[in-house]
Amino acid sequence: MAEYTLRIRRYDPQSGEAAYWDDHVVDMRPSNSVLDAILYLKGETDGSIGIRCSCQQGICGSCGVRMNGKPGLACNTHLEEAAGRRAGLGGEAEVGPTVIEVEPMGNMPVIRDLIVDMDAVHWKKIRRVTPWLIGKQPVPEREYVVPHENMVDVTQTMACIQCGACVSDCLSMEVDPGFIGPAALAKAYRFVGDPRDDEHAERLWDLSKDPQGIYDCTHCFNCVDACPKDVAPMNQIMRLRRMAGSDFDLEDPNNGYRHEHAFVDNIKKNGLLHEADLLPDSYGGKLHPRAVPELISSLPTAITAMSRGKITPQKALLHQHKAPKEVKRIFEKVEGREERVELNLYIVGYDEADEQSGTSNPPGSGASSDTKPLPEADMTGADERGPATERQDPPGAGEDPQSTDPESES
Amino acid sequence: MPSHDVLIIGAGLAGQRAALAAAENGATVGIISKVHPVRSHSVAAAGGINAALNPEDTWESHAFDTVKGSDFLGDQDAIEIMCRAAPDEILWLEHAGVTFHRDDRGHLGTRAFGGASAARTYYVADITGQAILHVLYEQLMKHAGQLDRFEEWFATELIQDDEGTCVGAICRNLRDGRHEVFNARSTILASGGAGQAYRPTTNGLIVTGDGIAQAYRIGARLMDMEMIQYHPTTLAGNGLLITEGARGEGAWLLNAEGERFMEKYAPNKLELASRDVVSRAEQTEINEGRGFPDGTVALDITKVPRKRTLEALREIVNIGRDFAGVDITREPIHIHPGQHYIMGGVKTDVDGRTSVPGLYAAGEVACVSVHGGNRLGANSLLDTLIFGRRAGEHAAGLVRQTRMPHTPASRVSDSERRIGEIIRRPGGEGRRVSAIKAELGDTMNEYVAVFRDAEGLAKAHEIIRRLKEEEPKAAIDDRGTVFNQDVIAAIELGYMLDVAEAIVVAAQERKESRGAQFRTDFPARNDEDWLKHVDISLNGDGEPVVSYSPVTITRWEPEERTY
């Protein structure tokens, strides 16, 4: 047993008061969940603490909250684990029991205490992506015959429990509330990745032409980190992009397509990113009518950067770096593949023998070299990459985990 | 004042399936749920759904397994209907988008399950219930034009007209505490079981017997209430479910001496005997001192190839890791029998009609009875879908024969006043709701569990009567109207006490051992006296009274039951 201070964010819309922190000390096992502690308090001291909850086993998706700054399910987050995050918050050393701050999720309006309005944000976005199967016609008399691997693959997105943790901490949505967002786009992949669906192209076009669609994600990885079910929403968004840009060659009006291709070309040519080229190339080249206004509008940024010594005219304009042989070989190898390799880090079983290669990753997150049922690639070579979390790096996934799209070269 | 041809209370699998069927048949539909539909407890159904869909399998085989599983208490006409309809229902789900896992050739794959003579359980990893529930909800969104969803509304009571016909319900919008009359030509209860009357239980906190108690209070007959399923593999301590799929994939049960004890109890089916048999075997091992000190036996999933476990049993890998600190792919996990399901419920016919005109029931809230004394694993999802659909279709078919009722708005103020009285209840007079609920749960788990006897049942009944006296004074804290979960918990406590009393009275009545009811004072099955259903209804004084109804036998005469 150990003592924890549960600092719960309370808000009662009927009181006329602003939200406030409500502290309670509990003495529980470190392996008890945050929800155990809240239910204990509701039962013993204050039945008015508002939190949605039901299954207590991480499957109903009701109890999404933020605990010491990180979103997740209260029911499968241990007190010890939540308390451990405190160290990273950079606050002053606390006197007394370790504090666990429990707050409502972000990006959604609070109704009361820890209860947020999911319908106004999360479900509205889900409804945006035509969230039902549009089956291929004619409907077969029996089942659609499709590869097992495809069904296992979309199980990753079926595993989404609609808890909203990814929506809570989506940085893009914070800046642009209209962004369709991680949960709904993962839901969209569930149909685009389903061979029974008849409207892959229409769905991809819909999501790439929408300025708040797949190209509105900034690769921050927050959703991957937040998801309690390993759905890895950002990975699904990147797969939608690869399918839109490479498989269906959809040139969207948001410049997502051209930007990705310009990025890959840029690396292929220079080995290191030459940013001065990237912007104009993303708009069709320096002299392209589309690029000129973009270049002009970026001038203030460039001037500021120059005045602070971040860039020099020489570096900006003359990029001396040339792609070394190793980079070229990576491109040759990846582009030489007949099919794109997608690493699904959610469900890739591996046998005992494979583990001798040594990995500390949790079960299910490892991919072995001899099992590759539609594995899921978690990176694209294009666009700016956020910091990769450790579990994103597939152990033993070959020498080239950051491979670019083979077909994105045009 | 919302008015619909068909009002559905509860939006798990049975409710959503009923809603879709009613809408497809031209009815206007309102579906209300006290939680968002995807939070319904159907989401936790893990292992799969049964159907004799493979060409080499037959519905008769599925039906016989179900009859035998029920210990011959299931009504065979209803079982035949369910098993015949099962293959088409699976295909309907598949076409609607359920991502059933496939075999090597891309056809629907199956896994083995308890009490079944063929591998006929269709599955999506071990999240089958979740996958089906979410796909049905996709269909509700798709058909939003024909279906009105009322999410996070709580039905406070069913309404009857002067003739006793159910004409809708009064519901509270949890978001603002506003009450409304929902008029309906037909009302379908699909609000699930009552697992929270037990502690521990595999059931979520929302599973509080609401529909069973609401129907019972307006005179509906309950049936088979004594038949409470203890699932053989629930986690030590918190009672979380470890899917039967684990044993279906090849896991063993071992006692503390390392013995595969099912060889003694079910030499043919071993771990895949029916649930009542396996749970009794485990409890016997534990009671006779061959369990572990924490009152458990071991489930050894390391027998399943690791790759297969990670792919097909992923959810319990997570549960082992998060809730027991055990990597189930490397070491056995400690489990014991735990409350999981109620075979009984509101008595219905094969179209979901209850004994109250205008009122239907489907899913765990209902008792058709297809499960009789013991439900087979992976038959509950099937039950919800088949009888949910049938109830929805039947109710939609009555639209032209009935007129739209208009309940006076004054009924709303009565309901609001009653709930207002609970909210304004002075604190400090009675025990807390949580304390009464905990005592109820512990009592049921001690005396109305795997093994029962007259003495224990009498004791349980005495405690429940005392708790029922305490309940009207139970203290709550929340005085608000926005998401007042405290007042809802107080109302749910009353429901659970009613259901618990019905369970105990039925268990006292059945003086034999059959299916999940094992009476140590009547250890044998007695077909001569007890091949009949025990029905419970309320008399005018609010006391439960017992009556009987016959078991329908179509082609399978009772025989000795061994696995």
Question: In which residue are the tokens 């002299």 written?
Answer: A287
Among all residues of chain B, which has the CA nearest to that of A136? Answer: B95
Neighbours of B268 (CB within 10 A): 9
CB-CB: which of A48, A119, A132 is closest to B486? A48
- Kindly report the nearest CA distance between residue B82 and chain A, in angstroms: 19
ipTM of predicted assembly, 2 dp = 0.96
How far is CA B455 from its chain centroid? 27
Residues of chain B with C-beta less than 8 angstroms from the C-beta of A44: 432, 434
SS3 call for B441: helix
Span A142-148, average pLDDT? 95
| B-interface mutation test, from A29, A133, A198, A199, most B Cβ less than 10 A away | A133
- With a pLDDT cut of 70, the percent of chain A lying above it is 80
Considering only residues B258 and A364, tell me which one the structure prediction assigns the higher pLDDT: B258
Residue B167: phi and psi, rounded to 5, are: -120, 25
Residues of chain A with C-beta less than 8 angstroms from the C-beta of B100: 143, 151
Residues of chain A with C-beta less than 8 angstroms from the C-beta of B94: 143-144
Span A69-86, average pLDDT? 93
Chain B segment 498-557 residues within 8 A of A by beta carbon are none
- With a pLDDT cut of 90, the percent of chain A lying above it is 58
Residues of chain A with C-beta less than 8 angstroms from the C-beta of B125: 152, 155, 159, 347
Query: How far is the C-alpha of A69 from the C-alpha of B6, rounded, in Å?
Result: 45
Neighbours of B162 (CB within 10 A): 5
A138 touches chain B (CB under 8 A): no
CA distance to B137, B283, B554, per residue, from B259 (Å): 45, 15, 41
| Tens digit of pLDDT at every position of chain B (563 positions) | 899 999 999 999 999 999 999 999 999 999 999 999 999 999 999 889 999 999 999 999 999 999 999 999 999 999 999 999 999 999 999 999 999 999 999 999 999 999 999 999 999 999 999 999 999 999 999 999 999 999 999 999 999 999 999 999 999 999 999 999 999 999 999 999 999 999 999 999 999 999 999 999 999 999 999 999 999 999 988 899 999 999 999 999 999 999 999 999 999 999 999 999 999 999 999 999 999 999 999 999 999 999 889 888 988 999 999 889 999 999 999 999 999 999 999 999 999 999 999 999 999 999 999 999 999 999 999 999 999 999 999 999 998 899 999 999 889 998 999 999 999 988 778 999 999 999 999 999 999 999 999 999 999 999 999 999 999 999 899 999 999 999 999 999 999 999 999 999 999 999 999 999 999 999 999 999 999 999 999 998 999 999 999 999 999 999 999 99
Query: What was the pLDDT predicted at A89?
Result: 54
- Which H, E and C letters describe A209-272, residue by residue? HCCCCHHHCCCCCHHHHHCCCCCCHHHHHHHHHHHHHHHCCCCCCCCHHHHHHHHHHHHHHHCC
Residues of chain A with C-beta less than 8 angstroms from the C-beta of B88: none
Chain A segment 171-210 residues within 8 A of B by beta carbon are 190, 194, 196
Residue B282: phi and psi, rounded to 5, are: -60, -45
Please determine, for residue A410, whether its predicted confidence score (pLDDT) is greater than 60: no
Please determine, for residue A346, whether its predicted confidence score (pLDDT) is greater than 80: no
Query: How far is the C-alpha of A142 from the C-alpha of B561, rounded, in Å?
Result: 35
Among all residues of chain A, which has the CA nearest to that of B143? Answer: A132
Token representation of residue B278: 């396996």
SS3 call for A399: coil
CB contact under 8 A, A58 and B141: no
Query: How far is the C-alpha of B255 from the C-alpha of B269, rounded, in Å?
Result: 17
Chain A segment 207-266 residues within 8 A of B by beta carbon are none
Residues of chain A with C-beta less than 8 angstroms from the C-beta of B305: 351
CB contact under 8 A, B141 and A131: yes
CB-CB: which of A14, A52, A59 is closest to B481? A14
Query: What was the pLDDT predicted at B237?
Result: 82
- Kindly report the nearest CA distance between residue B329 and chain A, in angstroms: 9
Please determine, for residue A374, whether its predicted confidence score (pLDDT) is greater than 50: no
- Kindly report the nearest CA distance between residue B148 and chain A, in angstroms: 15
CB contact under 8 A, A151 and B97: no
Report pTM: 0.91
Mean pLDDT value across chain A: 83
CB-CB: which of B204, B322, B434 is closest to A55? B204
| A-interface mutation test, from B57, B134, B140, most A Cβ less than 10 A away | B134
Query: What was the pLDDT predicted at A345?
Result: 62
Query: What was the pLDDT predicted at B300?
Result: 97
Please determine, for residue A350, whether its predicted confidence score (pLDDT) is greater than 60: no
Which are the catalytic amino acids of B? 275
Query: How far is the C-alpha of A201 from the C-alpha of A204, rounded, in Å?
Result: 5
Helix (H) / strand (E) element for A70: namely strand A70-73
CB-CB: which of B95, B205, B486 is closest to A139? B95
Tell me whether the omega of the peptide bond preceding residue A138 falls within 30 degrees of 0, making it cis: yes
Token representation of residue B485: 């979960």
**Cβ pairs A/B, distance under 8 A:** 197
Query: What was the pLDDT predicted at B226?
Result: 98
CB contact under 8 A, A351 and B306: yes
Query: How far is the C-alpha of B22 from the C-alpha of A36, rounded, in Å?
Result: 40
Query: What was the pLDDT predicted at B322?
Result: 87
Query: How far is the C-alpha of B76 from the C-alpha of B68, rounded, in Å?
Result: 11
CA distance to A68, A365, A375, B499, per residue, from A344 (Å): 30, 9, 4, 46
CB contact under 8 A, A159 and B477: no
Query: How far is the C-alpha of B209 from the C-alpha of B189, rounded, in Å?
Result: 11
Going by pLDDT thresholds of 50, 70 and 90, the confidence category of residue A392 is very low
B424 touches chain A (CB under 8 A): no
Query: What was the pLDDT predicted at A184?
Result: 98
CB contact under 8 A, A352 and B489: no
